[in-house]
Structure 1
Amino acid sequence: MTDKITFIDLFAGIGGFHLAFHNLGAECVFASEWDKDARKTYEANFAKISPELFKKNTNGETRFAGDITKVDASKIPDFDILTGGFPCQPFSIIGAKAGFEHETQGTLFFDIERILKEKQPKAFVLENVRNLTAHDKGKTFKIIIEHLEKLGYFVHYKIINALDYGVPQKRERIIIVGFKENVPFSFPAPLPIEKRATIKDILETGNIEDKYFVKPEIRDRRHAKMLLKTITEPSRPYITHENVSGSVTPHSYSCALRAGASANYILINNERRPTERELLRIQGFPDWFKVVVSYSGIKKQTGNAIAVPAIESVAREVLKSLRLFKEIKK
């Protein structure tokens, strides 16, 4: 019998949730990710950390599943915490005649719901884009919370910014936490300003390969647009992104990484693109984390990832609440 807290990693991507909970001593007993390249990165980095996920059973299956919609929830190992940064396609609300339980059918949230219903874990931690709270005038988010509460969970939610928790990236996300028992829980307080990372903290040292530098005409155009707003060049290093209106603003942190952004969406000193390692550092991934896909692949993967220090700060509070309740119950 072990006291180790276990979790499952749904919509796993390249393993931000996995890292966060593993860093705090929890054990991953099941994971799911359908994207082929993300699976490649995940296995390359977690085969030694969580080898049980990748061992084949007598049927040739592992605990690292592909399409979660095809996974029988009853066959998932028992666990304490469900985690997942679930994709949120537009919800198709069937209407009152179909009944409340059908409101999430056809969305990937439904798979979270059915697994929670089947396995009844002690807690869950979900992550999504900030706009989820405003989708369909707030109806989508209201339905999600109602469904989680109907399953018997005490639900907490808050929009947090990764910039406040140790990565140089303004990345606002809605975090939804639930417990089967009404345990005390608070979202983590932001780090003091002096402990927050800046772009300078994540830049690679030494010579940067020429392939990361943009053409002179791109550099000059970007620089000219920036000076329309700032008059003088700010202290280096800085990072800029060009918004949809063409405005370019320098910051000591990155805007939110995006999976589908253009090649030059963010530039360091208006001169070059971040390296693969820098993209990972912007999301709080450690330097031992292996890059096994192309630049465009890691750019997409980091754009889809969660900021590890931010979710680790939340995970720490979740584990604290679960252990506190365990002590009270003794």
Structure 2
Amino acid sequence: MHAEETAATASPSPLTVSATDDATTLLLQVLAIYAARDLVSTLSDAGGRDWSVPRLNRIRQGKSAAPALSSAEVASLQALLPARPAHYDAPRFQFVDLFAGIGGIRRGFEQIGGQCVFTSEWNKEAVRTYKANHYCDPQQHRFNSDIRQVTQPAGLSDEQAIYQHIDRTIPDHQVLLAGFPCQPFSLAGVSKKNALGRAHGFECEAQGTLFFDVARILAAKKPPFFVLENVKNLKSHDKGRTFAIIMATLDELGYDVADADNAGLADAKIIDARHFLPQHRERIVLVGIRRDTHLSEGFSLRALPALYPKKVPTLSSLLEPQPDAKYTLSPVLWNYLYQYAKKHKAKGNGFGFGLNDARNPSVCVRTLSARYYKDGSEILIDRGWDRELGEQDFHQPDNMSRRPRRLTPRECARLMGFEAPGETRFRIPVSDTQAYKQFGNSVVVPVFAAVAQLLLPLIEQYTRNMK
């Protein structure tokens, strides 16, 4: 044992909690989410002893035993983890969260009384943020990394055996949520499919895609409802073949998809986040209802406007009052973006950065993307840059001092609806680069809170019918 650990554990204070399995588990749970450097001051302030990054890293790696923790240290660690939602004592329904990212869709369905019983997310950095903000009690919730470990288990090739494995691994649930990635589909020939005699056509048509894994779970678990999310371009991907296969597969599995036939009207399945927050972000939302529940008739996402907020928050309300200067673009980057946009404008391409004046109450920014960490060009906050002066003399000192800035990760959390204007409740345990990627890959939370609210009466009707 290291000398500093011997000194720390030799004479525990009267308020010390024994280094029981629970206390050790808590410390390791927090160390799996937060960087050691972020915990040093928190633990030192709480416990009155000297914690160090090397010491915490040794504990994380299993090279040193965790010391006894004081009650204050335990409390400080518990404050870094999400509390158990009160409604989990009597949840209205259970749901699973696939391709979960940082849990944007989950938040909407927890708001209407749902309990998450299974999560799948492969990105380790996203998992850190997810676990920092979403309650994941191993006694009531299972966490999975690669969903293919469940849907394509090693050593199993028989379809029925695979479905039984899925059924055993994933808890029963009423709603399946999935923001699955869009991938090319490789169609198998009809003759091959017939020769194999497979029970489901999608077993041939969707193999090699992550939608295939969602379809297998639907086939095995048969939840009464699902909500799938993807980019708007899913409809036109591969000249529409991808979307056609998805819709045919869901129909084959016995589900009615809301607004499947638009009859020449604007597609209600395409929802723009600008109705909820000042960001133009269109996503396709597929709400499925199992046909044999006889609950799908009359359900439509066209009713969603009734749940739009009366007033969309302004961009200025989402901004931090004194953001760190590091978010201001460097002179070199700003010069590059400015000249690049100028060159494309001259060619008539219209390509350029998105400069936003937060003083304008009606401003709506472009879509926040996962590449935002690179240069922030799609959403820049105007700090008084004078375009005309820039055209005359780009490097004019007074004008250069007003270079635009990118959004902070906290502002991205608000723009995506993970917290309200002025709040700092959403925990961001990762680097800025990872945070930008995670928010850019996520969904706008209020959109799915509204979808959940719209679906809630049918979920309640289903649970009543099952009693």
Q: TM-score, with normalisation over the residues of structure 1?
A: 0.84
For the 8 Å contact 1:226–1:249, the answer to whether it is kept is no
Q: Which amino acid aligns with 1:320?
A: P
Secondary structure of 1:117's aligned partner: helix
Q: Which amino acid aligns with 1:272?
A: R
| Matching residue of 1:112 | 214
Q: Within 2, Cα distance between the matches of 1:5 and 1:155? A: 20
Structure 1 position 254, deviation (Å):
2.0
Identity %: 40
Q: Which amino acid aligns with 2:443?
A: I
For the 8 Å contact 2:327–2:408, the answer to whether it is kept is yes
Cα RMSD after superposing both structures: 2.8
1:276 aligned onto 2:409: yes
5+ residue gaps, structure 2: 1-88, 151-164, 194-200, 260-268, 344-348, 357-362, 383-402
Q: Within 1, Cα distance between the matches of 2:103 and 2:278? A: 19
Which of the numbers 237, 240, 243 marks the counterpart of 1:141?
A: 243
Matching of residues 1-330 of structure 1 within 5 Å: 4-46=92-134, 50-52=135-137, 54-55=138-139, 63-71=142-150, 72-74=165-167, 75-99=169-193, 100-101=201-202, 102-157=204-259, 158-164=269-275, 166-180=276-290, 181-183=293-295, 184-187=298-301, 188-189=304-305, 195-205=311-321, 207-216=322-331, 218-219=333-334, 245-251=350-356, 252-261=363-372, 262-265=374-377, 266-269=379-382, 271-286=404-419, 287-326=424-463
Secondary structure of 1:90's aligned partner: coil
| Alpha carbons of structure 1 residues 328 and 32: separation in structure 2 relative to 1, 3 Å | closer
For the 8 Å contact 2:92–2:460, the answer to whether it is kept is no
1:97-131 Cα deviation digits (max 9, x unpaired): 23233100110001110111111111000000000
Instruction: Kindly tell me the number of residue pairs found equivalent between the two proteins.
Output: 307
| Matching residue of 2:47 | none
Q: Which amino acid aligns with 1:204?
A: E
More helix by share: 2
Secondary structure of 1:92's aligned partner: coil
Q: Within 2, Cα distance between the matches of 1:76 and 1:22? A: 19
Q: Within 2, Cα distance between the matches of 1:195 and 1:35? A: 35
Q: Within 1, Cα distance between the matches of 2:136 and 2:308? A: 37
| Alpha carbons of structure 1 residues 329 and 114: separation in structure 2 relative to 1, 3 Å | closer
More displaced stretch, 212-221 vs 286-295:
212-221
Q: Within 2, Cα distance between the matches of 1:25 and 1:37? A: 27
For the 8 Å contact 2:341–2:351, the answer to whether it is kept is no
For the 8 Å contact 1:30–1:76, the answer to whether it is kept is yes
Q: Within 1, Cα distance between the matches of 2:443 and 2:149? A: 24
1:230-281 Cα deviation digits (max 9, x unpaired): xxxxxxxxxxxxxx85334545122111113432322111611111100111
For the 8 Å contact 1:225–1:248, the answer to whether it is kept is no
Q: Within 2, Cα distance between the matches of 1:185 and 1:192? A: 17
5+ residue gaps, structure 1: 57-61, 229-243
For the 8 Å contact 1:154–1:182, the answer to whether it is kept is no
Secondary structure of 1:27's aligned partner: strand
Q: Which amino acid aligns with 1:23?
A: Q
Rg bigger for which structure? 2
Q: Within 2, Cα distance between the matches of 1:40 and 1:328? A: 38
| Matching residue of 1:240 | none
Structure 1 position 323, deviation (Å):
1.9
Q: Within 2, Cα distance between the matches of 1:41 and 1:19? A: 13
Q: TM-score, with normalisation over the residues of structure 2?
A: 0.61
